[in-house]
Amino acid sequence: MAHHAIAVMVSGRGTNLAAILEAAKNGECPVDVRVVISNKIDAPALRIARDAGVSSVFFVNPKDYKDRIAYDKACADIIEKADCQWVVLAGYMRILSSFFVNYFFNRIVNIHPALLPAFTGVDGVSDALAYGVKVAGCTVHLVSEEVDGGAILSQAVVPVLNDDSLESLHQRIQKEEYKLYPQTLHRMIEQGFSMDGRRIIWR
């Protein structure tokens, strides 16, 4: 298995995928994006992947499978055939099955637009803004069966301004995501980590 080979799973615009591909192209992130999988046929991320020259780009239609596990097994088969070490979620909007999480145990990575463990779920940015926090940010974490509940790999902090709207705060968080995700993948591959309970210990 190639330690630097990754599969990226996407559902939408693909901006984090684009950031990872750009960092890889510039030599800033030593990943080989071998596979991109989307559950949405019209996801702009698919075009981004093809334009960047990713060799294996797949739309896997959930309607073709009887349940979530069957779908996830099909995706896992694609990832295994490409010999990928890591599964990178970049705006992937499906809840992964227990089968998939355990099959790639501690090899699935996600980025969340909040400082976990606070403000989990799809409304992390708006929940943080409504709560009145003075700092927000983003978190790269391992994926567990608990949504947004895996061990934390890295975080970046974004100040919340008095005049912030949901859109303005989210845009600044995304700018940090585009730096933090490639940096964290770089560190995972070049440096590696061990775990002490929930704590990630960088080597």
Q: What residues are labeled active site?
A: 112
- Tokens for 128, please give them: 């943080």
* Number of C-beta neighbours around residue 17 at 10 A: 28
Helix/strand/coil percent split, the chain, to 5: 35, 25, 35
**Strand pairing partners for 38?**
10, 59
* Number of C-beta neighbours around residue 203 at 10 A: 8
- Report the distance separating Cα 8 and Cα 166, nearest Å: 27
Report yes or no: 38 and 46 within 8 Å, Cβ to Cβ.
yes
- Tokens for 53, please give them: 């020259």
Task: Classify 107 as helix, strand or coil.
Answer: coil
